[in-house]
Amino acid sequence: MKMTMMRLRREDPRVVGSFRLHRRLGAGGMGVVYLGSDKRGQRVALKVIRPDLAEDQEFRSRFAREVSAARRIRGGCTARLVAADLDAERPWFATQYVPGPSLHDKVTEEGPLSAAQTASIGAALAEGLLAVHDAGVVHRDLKPSNILLSPKGPRIIDFGIAWATGASTLTHVGTAVGSPGFLAPEQVRGATVTPATDVFALGATLAYASTADSPFGQGSSEVMLYRVVHEEPQLMGVPDALAPLILACLAKDPEERPSTLQLSLRLKEIAAREAHGLPDGRRVPSRREPERPSDRRVADHAHQSTEPRPAAAAQGGSSPARPPATRPLRQPRPDRPAARPAGRPRDGARPGARPGAGRRTGRDPRLLRQRLIVFVVVTLLVALGIAAAQGCDGPKKSSGSGARERACAVAVAADSCGAVGSGRGWG
């Protein structure tokens, strides 16, 4: 049923019950839907059975089922029932008016929806179907024209052919039940309808929202019904993120379709992911989402954190950082030599010496001994030079003058060595 505003025709009533009618919203197989208002100005969508069908008892029964279904369903997925009169000459009922275009009109005017939009609408519809099925009702005619996109979310309308769960009829006098291309195979065969029947219709509806075409193409009713039963759906153009789920909804066997709850949860997940993906939603983002470490990875990480890392060799003369006191020292592997202790000279290491010995002064013991010997020798030579110099400055004697001169020469040489040695910093 296409919901568009049209002027009232000459044959249309102006008042029904306590409601004044203003516009035609659309017409379907059962009757006409009007835009009306009550005395308080509340707007309603009022549906009246066609005059030529009002006398048919079967149509009256179907209309009564629709009213009964609307009364049982709770939640915001459907238009709330306001009033009804099943005993009037032309039975009618009024529901809350839902502003907004149908899904069919939106796709026709604006083109296919993105994956994020389709998944978001689908998640709301699946959650709505949960409320419908919890009331023991199967819609049986879910399709794009029976979904209104209100500012508060999509709403399911037109329960004119709704049946209790387990009912099994296909056609009724004067009209065909359901819409080819959106009917489930069990409906075409006349088998029992279940909530899985609406899941099939929702899958076909989401495929239409993504491609602006039925997954079973176009053609006569007979051709479409044959394809639904015997051919696989064509999902060319359906976003990659949605294609597997829609294909599962369109399974020929009702048992192979996801439940309404599973469908709702999965569509919410896809909608949330696609909302942060590529703008057009035609592809799943290539970047991988961060994965939670498994229990095995957590265990390995905890085990590695208790083992010390091997001490790194000192670079540039700096000592390596000491490992934490709580970590046990790692024993050297038998197949590789133990690392040289940090700070030990490469040459002159005593075999079997305790690691770290001789490091109290931070210098090589052999070098200290050599410097001590040089210091003693230089000190003796300086002392000898001072004594000899004093002797050279004394009164000269005639005897032994040659020996005296030689002693003075040795003293001068010793004094020079002391000066040089002191300048090089040996002392």
Write down which residue in 248, 274, 300 finishes a domain.
274
Do 59 and 43 lie in a common domain? yes
Residue 342 belongs to some domain of the structure: no
The answer to whether 47 is a known ligand-binding residue is yes
Q: Which domain covers residue 261, as residue numbers? A: 103-167+178-274
Kindly state whether residue 89 falls inside one of the protein's structural domains. yes
Same domain, 115 and 83: no
Residues 116 and 203 both lie in one domain: yes
Active site annotation includes 141: yes
Mark whether 72 and 29 lie in a shared domain.
Answer: yes
Last residue of some domain: 67, 96, 125?
96
Q: Are residues 206 and 130 in the same domain?
A: yes
pTM for the structure as a whole: 0.60
H helices of 195-315, where? 195-211, 221-230, 243-249, 260-274, 295-305
pLDDT digits (tens, 9 = 90+) for 160-206: 555 444 444 443 433 345 678 999 999 999 999 999 999 999 999 99
Which one-letter DSSP state was computed for residue 78?
B
pLDDT-wise least confident of 111-125, 246-260, 367-381: 367-381
Where helices occur in 17-73 by DSSP H, the ranges are 57-72
Instruction: Specify whether the CB–CB gap between 358 and 350 falls below 8 A.
Output: no
Which CATH number fits the domain that encloses residue 32? 3.30.200.20
Question: Do 225 and 129 lie in a common domain?
Answer: yes
27 and 153, same domain (yes or no): no
In a domain, 122, yes or no: yes
Asked if residue 306 belongs to a domain, the reply is: no
CA torsion 42-138-142-225 (nearest 10°) is -150
233 and 162 in a single domain? The answer is yes
The residue annotated as part of the active site, out of 141, 158, 295, 393, is 141
Q: Which among 256, 151, 142 has a CA at the least distance from the CA of 207?
A: 142
Nearest Cα neighbor of 82 from 72, 70, 74 is 70
Strands, sheet with 81-85, edge to edge from the N-terminal-most edge strand: 15-16, 19-27, 31-37, 43-49, 92-96, 81-85
Together in a domain, 264 and 133: yes
Q: Is residue 377 part of a domain?
A: yes
Give the pLDDT mean for 55-65.
Answer: 83
**Helices 260-274 & 195-211 angle (0-180, nearest 10):** 20
- Identify whether 289 is part of a domain: no
Query: In terms of domains, do 191 and 249 share one?
Result: yes
Amino acid (one-letter) located at 147: I
Which has more confidence, 368 or 170?
368
Residues 264 and 409 in one domain: no
Among candidate residues 100, 90, 109, the one with its CA nearest the CA of residue 147: 100
Q: Evaluate whether residue 287 is within a structural domain.
A: no
Residues 115 and 259 in one domain: yes
Q: What is the pLDDT of residue 13?
A: 93
Residue 281 belongs to a domain: no
